[in-house]
């Protein structure tokens, strides 16, 4: 068989194969070869999706491989992020410690010892003033009941021994003391709110008032008769306050009377009694628990021995 014959047979066989292949009619009603462009379009779309996926995988950063130590034993330091130059500082100034004081904590003085720092109130170390205005040093009395008075720092307390004086808001003070016969030294102490103290003293004399002694001498038939007039202390009464804001209200009464005699104090709302001492002095504190407020009433002091009396007004002023 020659070459031409062989070519014709091959051509005939190829045509028969194509006619029998599904490519001839893969889609019903569609002419031969018309489906090929559509198949190529589908294959192109799939190929584009694969390409995009590959590019996405290549863009993602690769996962760093774990750091391993080199075989020679050199230590590889862990990764430390760099610090920008603008964040570095060479200032080595030491910061002072600041302690915050909570409310109510005491403020320690910041100035030299014994002085206060800025904005602090200095401690009160100055003793209060204390002046005795009455009586004067060396004054002589014929009664043992004497009122002492003077001035001190407002708010300070004044005492004579265990007895406390009355101190007004302006610092004036007074107290009644009973003297002993002869020279008397009265010592007073003023104490301010910080505990500072000042002392002052005055010396006074008490000489009893002695009635004249009359001696009458007659000589009838050579007899002698002597008459002596006994000592006599005249009754007196005084009032200390006149009003009182305390509850129960009270007042203090004092004066002179026959030594050992009884003195009674009476009123509609309270009273009491006391005996004069050996020198004839007496003092009595009387409370008026039932006294009405802001109403003056009479209080009477009376000597039982002589019957003499003296009245005073008193009011409860709450």
DSSP string spanning 198-230?
EEEEEEEEE----PPP------GGG------PP
Looking at the fold, whether 137 and 200 belong to one and the same domain comes out as yes
Separation between Cα atoms, residue 149 and residue 168, nearest integer Å: 11
Task: Indicate if 201 and 245 belong to the same structural domain.
Answer: no
- 136 with 184, same domain: the answer is yes
- 188 and 261 share a domain? no
Q: What is the 3-state secondary structure (H, E, C) of 7-64?
A: HHHHHHHHHHHHHHCHHHCCCCCCCCCCCHHHHHHHHHHHHHHHHHHHHHHHHCCCCC
* Residue 273 counted as domain residue: yes
CB neighbours of residue 137 within 10 Å: 9
Please report, for the domain that includes residue 198, its CATH number: 2.60.40.10
pTM above 0.95, yes or no: no
3-state secondary structure (DSSP) of residue 150: strand
Pair 296, 287: CB distance under 8 Å: no
The total number of structural domains in the chain stands at 2
302 lies in some domain: yes
**Domain end marker among 173, 206, 239:** 206
Where are any strands of DSSP class E within 73-144? 130-134, 140-141
94 domain residue, yes or no:
no
In CATH, what number is assigned to the domain containing residue 283? 2.60.40.2550
Q: Is residue 98 part of a domain?
A: no
Looking at the domain assignment, is residue 237 inside a domain? Answer: yes
pLDDT tens per residue across all 318 residues of the chain? 555 676 666 666 656 654 555 444 555 555 555 556 666 666 677 777 766 666 665 554 555 555 555 555 555 444 444 444 443 444 433 333 333 333 444 444 445 555 555 666 678 889 999 999 999 999 999 888 899 999 999 999 999 988 899 999 999 999 999 888 888 989 999 999 999 999 999 999 998 765 433 433 444 444 444 333 345 788 999 999 999 998 899 999 999 998 989 999 999 999 999 999 988 899 999 999 999 999 999 999 999 988 899 999 999 999
Q: Are residues 189 and 138 in the same domain?
A: yes
Residue 193 and residue 260 in one domain? no
Same domain, 239 and 310: yes
pLDDT of residue 89: 41
Quick check: is 63 in a domain? no
Would you say residue 42 lies in a domain?
A: no
Residues 253 and 195 in one domain: no
In terms of residue numbers, what domain contains 170? 131-206
């Amino acid at each position: 068989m020659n070459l031409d014959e062989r070519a014709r047979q091959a051509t005939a066989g190829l045509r028969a194969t194509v006619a029998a292949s599904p490519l001839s009619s893969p889609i019903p009603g569609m002419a031969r070869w018309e489906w090929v462009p559509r198949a190529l379009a589908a294959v192109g779309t799939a190929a584009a999706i694969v390409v995009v996926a590959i590019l996405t995988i290549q863009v993602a950063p690769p996962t760093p491989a774990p750091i391993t130590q080199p075989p020679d034993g050199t230590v590889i330091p862990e990764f430390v992020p760099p610090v920008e130059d603008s964040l570095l500082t060479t200032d080595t100034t030491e910061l002072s410690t600041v302690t915050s004081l909570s409310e109510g904590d005491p403020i320690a003085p910041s100035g030299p010892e014994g002085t206060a720092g800025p904005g602090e109130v200095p401690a009160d170390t100055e003793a209060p003033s204390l002046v005795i205005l009455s009586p004067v040093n060396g004054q002589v009395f014929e009664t043992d009941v004497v009122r002492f008075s003077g001035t001190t720092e407002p708010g300070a307390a004044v005492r004579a021994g265990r007895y406390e004086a009355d101190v007004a808001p302006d610092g004036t003070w007074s107290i009644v003391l009973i003297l002993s016969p002869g020279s008397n030294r009265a010592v007073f102490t003023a104490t301010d709110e910080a505990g500072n103290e000042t002392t002052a003293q005055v010396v006074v004399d008490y000489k009893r008032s002695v009635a004249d002694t009359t001696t009458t001498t007659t000589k009838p038939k050579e007899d002698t008769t002597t008459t002596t007039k006994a000592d006599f202390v005249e009754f007196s009464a005084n009032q200390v306050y006149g009003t009182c804001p305390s509850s129960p209200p009270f007042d203090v009464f004092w004066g002179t009377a026959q030594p050992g005699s009884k003195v009674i104090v009476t009123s509609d709302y309270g009273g009491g009694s006391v005996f004069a001492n050996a020198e004839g002095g007496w003092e009595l504190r009387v409370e008026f628990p039932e006294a009405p407020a802001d109403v003056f009433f009479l209080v009477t002091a009376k000597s039982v021995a002589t019957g003499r009396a003296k009245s005073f007004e008193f009011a409860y002023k709450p």
